Structure 1
Amino acid sequence: MRQHYDVVVVGGGPAGWPAAIQAALLGASTLLVEKNGALGGTTTVAGVALPGLFHAWGRQIIGGIGWQVVLRSVQEAGGALPDFSDWRQRHWRLQVPVVPGVLAALIDDAVVGSGADLLLHTMVGAAHWDGSVWRLTLATKEGLRPLTADVVVDCTGEADVVALAGVPRRTNEHRQPGTIMFRLEGYDLAALDTDALQRAHDAAVARGDLLPADLAHKSVAAFLRAHGENATHVVGVQGGTSADRTATELAGRRLLLRVLRFLRAQPGLEEVGLAAWATETGVRESWSIDGHVTITSHDYVTGRRWPDALSHSFYPIDVHRPDGAGIDIRPLPYGTLPTIPRRALVPRGSQRLLVAGRAISGDQEAASAFRVQASSMAMGQAAGALAARAAATGADVLEVPLEDVWAQLRRHGAIVPGDVVVPPLEQDHPRRTASPA
């Protein structure tokens, strides 16, 4: 391990591991710091093993490092890809099913193979820009370890390093709920009296044995049909501090126990059990940065092509109501290709500091869409390229020529805004005249 790095990436989730790989492949001495025992974040530790969306309107719009490792993981596990050409499917059908353990192992290989250094079970305890370098303190198992870096990329999902450095961040008053991922087994849905189960559920809510949002306001039949996967809402969660995250994890596991106890008390569900569960409750929304620009929902749904666009994002507006009582999903109009600008990754008042992932600068509706895994992988790779070029040239991250960054991204398989053109609907799909549902 070095005392000084060109680039330090904090957080090994969907944005962090591609950022570290890209920086290292461009020759920057790079350290990736991750608090958990596995890389992958939301995809692996939080169990949302459905990265997407890499394609829009039948065309690939996100490629590069993230896509390559995801694709290898599907092949390694003997899985299959969706039919991306059938773009009229519901958006969730075009996500890529992965096996978390396989993906985590392949991410390990890709990070180490890139030449980046890796520290798991490590967090940043202090961060300070001294006018020439970043001074960081790592909290390792053997104690506090100081080091310096030319550029820092914050991929914590909650802008933790930004806050440690005293740079402002922001949060919405009413935040979206989280979700604890698990999969139920041990029952035959066809043999159950779902009307009776629904009445029992409503009575349990009235008694306080269940919370209204525990099943994400789905019917019991719909919840069981999904085997409980991605079908819960943990309301009132927040991140940004250890106390907040502790409360979030406790709330998620209490929800799990409430649901299991309720189901096991019902006729036909006595043997219900957990086939899998995530060790970390997924958080959709907590803190974000005050960037040099803020991506608005209008920017996103109109596919604004920012002049400093680094990557694409593609996902419907997907706002989960703060009380857990439903989801506002708004598909994008045909041909829309939202973009992510460099200035949304740079906190105001900072030097040589980048953020990638769901904590970039955007309003609540736009962030509900660009927060997803494929979009985070794309902006992470872009941030890694930008950080490496800034470290190599001595420039600030806002001063690095974009042509250099775009060229390096393309060299490593990324798709830069402008590389993909979606033809008119009648030309590309002459018998399809409606926007996707």
Structure 2
Amino acid sequence: MKGSGVLKEKLEYDVVVVGGGPAGINAAIASGRMGAKTLLIERYGFLGGMSTVALVYPWMTFHTSSGKQVIKGIAQEIVERLMACGGSPGHLRDTVGFTNTVTPYHPEKYKILALEMLEEAKVDVLVHSFVDKVEVEGNSITSIHLTTKSGSIHVTGKSFVDTSGDADIAYLSGAPCLKGRESDHKTQPMTMKFRMRGVDLNKVKQVMKENPSNFYKKTPINELDELPLTGVQGFYKEWNESGVPINRDQVLFFAGPEEDEVLVNCTRVQGLDGTNVFDLTEGEKEGRKQVLMMADFLKEKVPGFEKASISAVGTQIGIRETRRIDGQYSLTIEDVIAGRKYEDTIALSGYPVDIHDPTGKGVQANDIQGDGSYGIPYRCLVPKGINNLLVGGRCISTTHEALATTRLSPSCMATGQAAGTAAALSLKERVHPKDLNISLLRARLRENGVVL
């Protein structure tokens, strides 16, 4: 779909994917490759979602704690193509020790690669487009309305995939949604991430080897001589003595994508609702204030940062949690920790539970038992009440606690591919997504490289 200078007030598609983050990109590619006429809609001027808009980096994780890769498919294809163009070193050991691997990537190269892969799949892309209305007849979405710089656009579709992260389409359609933890609806904190250049990572590594107790207990200190430094969690002493007014308990940053560069994940904005424009406004202001405080602290107190300076700040504040659908099944923390698998599993994940406290300083972490992976049921992608809607990414159906693992980008990539595949396959089979033959869907996913 190329601009002609004339506003097309109505667009018609088989599958409409809303949200151009990792889940939406993979959903649209999967749908397009199955021959469905597919449109991907994104509100920013570029794709990548939190991975590019909010500098969420690196991707964590494609593997279990033992190193078995459980996320492949389109997600792995993206990594391999980034490696081929110098946009990623591939999967590396996590020197924080929280997961087995992390996957660094260059956000600008990811933006372009995503567009190339979408074009190859014959997917149309529309950016700078914000969904402000969803039309529903009976129990089906008939169309969505976009606000754009060139006016309103009316998009009809046979099937819709919500990868907005905030369950925007589900919410506007009237599908039941939940938000935050059950007791008080508070959500995990927002974080304004930023990058710094001029960091001496060799000095950082030396300090870690000299004082291992000042770093995360699972940090592979004894292997640092052989491993590239990918991430650091700790500097507890320096942080506790700093008096910086940010409600967290440690320093966390990740190396790359350049040799002297790090991504700092240390700001923490609590008590705000990421679906409330007034709260978002306050969050953006507070997050950017914290960035400057954090950068000053790092330069003054953390070895290796003496000559560092801010090189990039997120286009927007990073959102961990907002709305999620109340779907046919809600994945629970017990499901995750037990490593449960299901007859309708459409994706696996090996990322542990990682709940950033909505009000306190800490993080609740729980490992996965069994083989180190858990299954995500197809039912988590299917909302109640709307027949032709599927959901992928951060806003699938889970509890607050389980969302703390499904929200990570590789998991979102996997559920996105499943949602896009299911949307196109449902149209081929002429059934509603909730009635789709699960064996048929799982077989198609396996054919396309998904591990189940």
Task: Give the structure-1-normalised TM-score.
Answer: 0.83
1:426 corresponds in structure 2 to: none
Equivalent residue of 1:15, what SS?
A: helix
Equivalent of residue 299 in structure 1, options 312, 321, 335: 335
Kindly provide the CA deviation profile for residues 191-223 of structure 1, in whole angstroms up to 9, marking residues without a partner as x: 99xx9x999977974xxxx4232xx3226xx77
Equivalent residue of 1:184, what SS?
A: strand
Structure 1 residues 380 and 90: CA distance shift in structure 2, 3 A? same
Q: CA deviation at 1:153?
A: 0.5
The answer to whether the 8 Å contact 2:426/2:433 transfers is yes
Stretch of structure 1 that moved more, 340-349 or 269-278: 269-278
Stretch of structure 1 that moved more, 166-175 or 254-263: 254-263
The answer to whether the 8 Å contact 1:180/1:278 transfers is yes
Structure 1 residues 201 and 297: CA distance shift in structure 2, 3 A? closer
Q: CA deviation at 1:244?
A: 3.6
CA distance in 2, matches of 1:149, 1:163: 17
The 5 A counterparts of 1:76-225 are: 76-77=85-86, 79-82=88-91, 90-92=97-99, 94-131=101-138, 134-172=142-180, 173-185=185-197, 205=243, 210-213=244-247, 216-218=248-250
Give the aligned residue type for 1:240. T
CA distance in 2, matches of 1:248, 1:127: 27
Structure 1 residues 314 and 141: CA distance shift in structure 2, 3 A? same
2:228 corresponds in structure 1 to: none
Stretch of structure 1 that moved more, 222-231 or 281-290: 222-231
Kindly provide the CA deviation profile for residues 150-203 of structure 1, in whole angstroms up to 9, marking residues without a partner as x: 1110001110111111222111222211222112345777899xx9x9999779
CA distance in 2, matches of 1:15, 1:184: 28
The answer to whether the 8 Å contact 1:91/1:315 transfers is no
Structure 1 residues 199 and 19: CA distance shift in structure 2, 3 A? closer
2:46 corresponds in structure 1 to: 38
Structure 1 residues 292 and 78: CA distance shift in structure 2, 3 A? closer
Equivalent residue of 1:55, what SS?
A: coil
1:231 corresponds in structure 2 to: 266
1:393 corresponds in structure 2 to: 429
The answer to whether the 8 Å contact 2:33/2:121 transfers is yes
CA distance in 1, matches of 2:42, 2:254: 35
Q: CA deviation at 1:273?
A: 1.9
Structure 1 residues 404 and 163: CA distance shift in structure 2, 3 A? same
The answer to whether the 8 Å contact 2:28/2:38 transfers is yes
CA distance in 2, matches of 1:154, 1:323: 29
CA distance in 2, matches of 1:161, 1:133: 9
The answer to whether the 8 Å contact 1:74/1:99 transfers is no
Task: Give the structure-2-normalised TM-score.
Answer: 0.81
| 1:17 pairs with 2:49 | no
CA distance in 1, matches of 2:371, 2:95: 12
2:82 corresponds in structure 1 to: 73
The answer to whether the 8 Å contact 1:34/1:119 transfers is yes
Equivalent residue of 2:245, what SS?
A: coil
CA distance in 2, matches of 1:142, 1:317: 43
The 5 A counterparts of 1:399-418 are: 399-415=435-451, 417=452
Percent identical: 34
CA distance in 2, matches of 1:339, 1:263: 39
Equivalent residue of 1:322, what SS?
A: coil
Structure 1 residues 266 and 88: CA distance shift in structure 2, 3 A? closer
Equivalent residue of 1:3, what SS?
A: strand
CA distance in 2, matches of 1:163, 1:80: 39
Give the aligned residue type for 1:107. A
The answer to whether the 8 Å contact 2:15/2:423 transfers is yes
The answer to whether the 8 Å contact 1:238/1:283 transfers is no
- Give the gaps of 5 or more residues in structure 1: 418-437
Which structure shows the higher strand fraction?
2
The answer to whether the 8 Å contact 2:387/2:434 transfers is no
**Pairs aligned (count):** 404
Stretch of structure 1 that moved more, 28-37 or 91-100: 91-100
Equivalent residue of 2:434, what SS?
A: coil
Give the aligned residue type for 2:75. G
Stretch of structure 1 that moved more, 113-122 or 183-192: 183-192
The 5 A counterparts of 1:366-381 are: 366-381=402-417
The answer to whether the 8 Å contact 1:18/1:66 transfers is yes
